[in-house]
Homo-oligomer: A and B are copies of this chain.
Amino acid sequence: MDCKSRSSTCIAPINIAVIKYWGKSDEEQIIPLNDSISITLDTDYMFTKTTATIGPEFTQDSIVLNNEQGSGDGVRFQNCLSEIRKLAASSKHSSTVEKSTWKVAIVSENNFPTKAGLASSASGYACLVFTLAQLYELESHQSELSALARRGSGSACRSLFGGFVRWFHDSQPCIARPIAEAEHWPELRCLVAVVSNTSKSVGSTEGMRRSAETSKLLEHRVKHVVRDRIEDMKMAILEKNFVKFAEITMRDSNQFHAICLDTYPPLFYMNSTSQAIIQLVHRYNQIRRSIKVAYTFDAGPNAVLFLEQAEISRFASVFYSVFGSTPHDQFFRGKVPDLLDPTEDVASLVPEKALKGQVQYTIVCNVGQGPKNIDPTG
């Protein structure tokens, strides 16, 4: 390799919205209709890893995604790339300006199965932008980087930050900023339930467009519901008020899916297993006489559950009793919880029908940090 070429490898986290992003006011610029709030998950189990190499000897941009050669001419990928090159070209460092003219070779992969329906575009574009920023020495341009990631995939702008993150729909530029760091709420846990037998459904870009065009309820949500929820959610997070946090999270997930159903033709992202998980969570909270667990669902049937550390063994035991059909250390991945004897809770939660096997496996994680450089010398 030419001595001028440079390479960097970074990882970026996924993020889960607790106030949902659904609908754009500008398709091309990817400006959302409303603010959203997300939680960044730790990269112990799930992350995107990207290696970017730039060099004067490359004759074209190239990209390998999850071991498959991509064409590198995707509109969003090129948008991202051309915007970050512009930023580099305007640098006061002549070396950065020079590098902005070189072609890039990207190798990116998710260590979690994309087929599982876990959003990979957010961590993917966040990782791309962050990695290129390392090479161009643009790490300090946090706002610009968030805006750049947004051009790749809207919610990627949130994955550039750790902890609790708010994406502003009307900031200039349109970017995300942290509400609180990951360490702010160390007791918070996330359990991602990967649902079996998912079927193909309308992609979120197309789904959002259809909702914005046909739902008679979306505008009301955007103008009159989300504004208050954003403030309430921010307070719940700052106060570490789990009950409030959980209720808003569940209500907002349900409202997002209600908007999908009000879309014409309707969009179905949740399936009967998702429905069973929702009903289980409400029944569990009822038995516990307080809200101990919250669910949220993105544009797919997988559930993301939030709970505090003190509840995890108890809830995981119940969840495993209802859905688990593989050994406990295969069913739980990441921070595998200890299980209790759940007889009493489970007895009052007997599901109406057999649900064993409807959840393939679950990943347990903490709130985590933003992207990081993992170069040996980094």
Contact = CB atoms under 8 A, between A and B. Distances in A.
A258 interface: yes
B250 A278 contact: no
B266 A216 contact: no
A220 to B, nearest CB: 4
B264 A216 contact: no
Contact of A199 (B263, B266, B353): B353
Interface stretch (A167-175, A230-238, A268-276, A328-336): A268-276
A251 B264 CA distance: 7
Contact of A262 (B247, B258, B278): B258
Contacts of A353: 197, 199
Given A217-B220, A352-B199, A261 B254 contact: yes
Contact of A261 (B216, B221, B261, B282): B261
A217 B271 contact: no
Contacts of A278: 265-266, 268
B254 A264 contact: yes
A374 interface: no
A41 interface: no
Secondary structure dominating the interface of A: helix
A190 interface: no
Interface residues of A, number: 32
Nearest to A268: B275
Contact of A217 (B217, B264, B265, B272): B217
Nearest to A278: B266
Contact of A255 (B216, B255, B352): B216
Interface string A318-359: 000000000000000000000000000000000011000000
A225 interface: yes
A306 to B, nearest CB: 16
Contacts of A224: 216, 220
Contact of A265 (B261, B264, B271, B282): B282
Give the one of A217, A225, A264 with max B CB within 10 A: A217
Nearest to A286: B265
Given A199-B353, A271-B272, A261 B264 contact: no
Interface string A274-288: 010011001000000
Contact of A225 (B216, B247, B258, B275): B216
A24 interface: no
Contacts of A272: 271-272
A257 interface: yes
Contacts of A263: 254
A295 to B, nearest CB: 10
A259 interface: yes
6 contacts: A199-B353, A216-B221, A217-B258, A254-B264, A265-B282, A268-B278
Given A254-B264, A261-B261, 17 more contacts: A197-B353, A200-B352, A217-B217, A217-B220, A217-B221, A217-B225, A217-B258, A247-B264, A251-B264, A254-B262, A254-B263, A254-B266, A257-B261, A258-B259, A268-B275, A268-B278, A268-B279
Closest 9 A/B residue pairs (Cβ): A258-B258, A258-B262, A220-B220, A258-B261, A272-B272, A265-B282, A216-B225, A254-B266, A217-B217
